[in-house]
Amino acid sequence: MNGLITFTRRAKSIYLASLLMLVCLAPGCIEDLVDEPELYQGDTSTVIMEIIHGDSVANATATYTIEIELYHDAAPNHTDNFRKHAQQGNYDNVTFHRVIDDFMIQGGDFERHDGSGGYAVQWYGYCNGEAMEQSSDCSSETLYTLPDEANNNLTHIPCMLSMAKTSAPNTGGSQFFIIPEDSTPNWLDGVHTVFGKVVSGCEHVTTLSEVETGAYDRPVIPVIIISATVSE
């Protein structure tokens, strides 16, 4: 290696954290460091979702499996958040509450299950879209949101995973949407953060995007994430 030392991303992170601890001598400095989110250090990881179309596993009319690859380098906060929500079981038994044919399927509201709830899994520096220095400045953990990472060269093409949010910036939390094979909603590029791709089972996303829906684009027969399993 010509005498050069090659560091992995994890090694770099540990080294930089140690260096900061050594040079941080000012009052309150250590306190500031403690509030920095610890992010997953790999380049990619995968989440496998088991999904049913039905009120329960017992009476499901169909069962689907999709595998999602997360791009941690492109959107480190969004991918870390999604991965940790899955690890903590927050997506288990959560519905895709909004489905629009030729557009997308949206889910991830573990809080209210109707599209009005959900929040970031930990502190990422934003409270209801507003940047704050400390998590203690935010009045509730249910207001934790994500910084936008939309300008990362990933676009809204078929089979991609993107973050749902309000019209205001930096308001992503736990809700996400997946684009079926017959949709390219490029008007969302640079606004919503794309952070992963369905690498297996995208045809199932297309099938689910075509289910019968009622008011508020809610499936007449529920579409439920039974489990979300994270790779190591």
CATH code, domain carrying 144? 2.40.100.10
Query: Are residues 159 and 176 both part of a single domain?
Result: yes
The whole-angstrom separation of Cα 45 and Cα 199 is 12
Phi/psi of residue 107, nearest 5 degrees: -150, -165
Query: Are residues 65 and 153 both part of a single domain?
Result: yes
SS3 97: coil
Q: What is the mean pLDDT of residues 25-51?
A: 76
Segments forming the whole domain that contains residue 26: 1-34
Percent of the chain with pLDDT over 70: 85
Query: Are residues 106 and 185 both part of a single domain?
Result: yes
The confidence score (pLDDT) of residue 76 equals: 98
Token representation of residue 58:
């017992």
Query: Are residues 109 and 188 both part of a single domain?
Result: yes
The whole-angstrom separation of Cα 45 and Cα 158 is 20
Query: Are residues 114 and 148 both part of a single domain?
Result: yes
Tens digit of pLDDT for each residue in 53-108?
999 999 999 999 999 999 999 999 999 999 999 999 999 999 999 999 999 999 99
What is residue 144's DSSP assignment? E
Q: What angle do CA 100, 102, 107 make, to 5 degrees?
A: 40
Number of H helices, E strands in the chain: 4, 12
26 vs 211 pLDDT, higher one? 211
Q: What share of the chain is helix, strand, coil (3-state, %, to 5)?
A: 25, 25, 50
Query: Are residues 106 and 202 both part of a single domain?
Result: yes
> What's the start-to-end Cα distance of the chain, in Å?
29
Domain count, the chain: 2
Residues with Cβ within 8 Å of 175's Cβ and at least 6 positions away in sequence, in order, are 106, 107, 108, 109, 115, 118, 163, 164, 165
Confidence of residue 231 (pLDDT cuts 50, 70, 90): confident
Query: Are residues 126 and 226 both part of a single domain?
Result: yes
Q: What angle do CA 162, 166, 169 make, to 5 degrees?
A: 85
Token representation of residue 83:
């991965």
Query: Are residues 55 and 160 both part of a single domain?
Result: yes
The confidence score (pLDDT) of residue 24 equals: 47
Tens digit of pLDDT for each residue in 169-179?
999 999 999 99
Query: Are residues 25 and 56 both part of a single domain?
Result: no
Half-sphere exposure of 214 (CA within 13 A, CB side): 4
Query: Are residues 48 and 138 both part of a single domain?
Result: yes
Query: Are residues 23 and 62 both part of a single domain?
Result: no
The confidence score (pLDDT) of residue 14 equals: 44
Query: Are residues 21 and 103 both part of a single domain?
Result: no
